[in-house]
Amino acid sequence: MALPKLKKEEIPNHVAVVMDGNGRWAKKRGLPRTAGHEAGEAALFDVVQGAIQIGVKELSAYAFSTENWKRSPEEVKFLMGFNIDVLRRRRDEMNDLGVKIQWVGRPNRLWKSVIKELEVAQALTKKNKVLTLNMCINYGGRSELIDAVNDIASLVSKKKLKAGSITEKELTKHLYSPKMSDVDLFLRTSGEHRTSNFLPWQSVYAELVFMDVLWPDVTRQTLWDAIEIYASRERRFGKA
């Protein structure tokens, strides 16, 4: 594996990853879907290390969407328990690497035991500055915007905000993680070309890169390859 030679300005500050393809990876091997999720853990933590090596400052990992409740009760239960295990198993290692873990998602419906584990990991790593790892669990872009709109509406009704005066900056304050920066590189694995309700507000000017690799087969090299593609793009932000 070789770290690509890129200039500092060619490295994305914030990378969002849709970790897709675990089920298909398992199916190809005649294994249950859950074995695919288990195999995906190593991929995520290799990508975290690769992100640190190349100088990415923020990484958002889509681990469970608000639509994933539609899966079988067995798979949902597995994923809840698995997220708890991963957080417990990896938090010290992440802390040693200087990773700040941040939960991004909707509290409603998410298992209390998962929220508790996320809070423990957040408290442990809150002072870290090397990389922010946004664990997006029970995250949905529409739910994020709806929850923000409801917050704002309630402030308007209490006369703490004025209708007609809501700015981008104000709306951003009500997102699940107000400090999150705009996404520079949006990466999805497994060959699917869609964003599946991940970070719509933050990704309006992200460069989209779709890779034909199943998530458990991903390594830091996959991230670096995606970053090379990103570096070759011309970002214009609407300018001529």
Active site residues: 20, 68
Q: Which does 22 bind (CB under 5 to 8 A by kind): ligand IPE, Mg ion, none?
A: ligand IPE
Closest distance to ligand IPE from the beta carbon of 154 (Å): 29
**DSSP track, the chain:** -------GGGS-SEEEEE---HHHHHHHTT--HHHHHHHHHHHHHHHHHHHHHHT--EEEEEEEETTGGGS-HHHHHHHHHHHHHHHHHHHHHHHHTTEEEEEES--TTS-HHHHHHHHHHHHHHTT--SEEEEEEEEE-HHHHHHHHHHHHHHHHHTTSS-TT---HHHHHHTSSSTTPPPPSEEEE-TT----TTS-TTTTTTPEEEE-SS-GGG--HHHHHHHHHHHHTS---TT--
Q: Which residues pair with 99 in a beta bridge?
A: 131
Amino acid identity of residue 206, one-letter, is: A
Residue nearest to Mg ion (CB): 20
Interaction between residue 62 and ligand IPE (CB under 6 A): yes
Closest distance to ligand IPE from the beta carbon of 50 (Å): 19
> Of 14-22, 27-35, 40-48, 77-85, which segment contacts Mg ion by CB under 5 A?
14-22
Interaction between residue 210 and ligand IPE (CB under 6 A): no
Question: Which residue lies nearer to ligand IPE by CB, 11 or 136?
Answer: 136
Is 20 in a helix, a strand, or coil? Answer: coil
Question: Which residue lies nearer to ligand IPE by CB, 18 or 199?
Answer: 18
Interaction between residue 235 and ligand IPE (CB under 6 A): no
> Of 4-12, 63-71, 120-128, 157-165, which segment contacts ligand IPE by CB under 6 A?
63-71
Identify the residue among 34, 44, 56, 65 touching ligand IPE (CB under 6 A).
65
Question: Which residue lies nearer to Mg ion by CB, 20 or 58?
Answer: 20
Question: Which residue lies nearer to ligand IPE by CB, 102 or 152?
Answer: 102
Interaction between residue 196 and ligand IPE (CB under 6 A): yes
Interaction between residue 190 and ligand IPE (CB under 6 A): yes
Interaction between residue 144 and Mg ion (CB under 5 A): no
3-state helix, strand and coil shares in percent for the chain, rounded to the nearest 5: 45, 15, 40
Interface positions with ligand IPE (CB under 6 A): 18-24, 62-65, 68, 79, 190, 192, 194, 196, 215
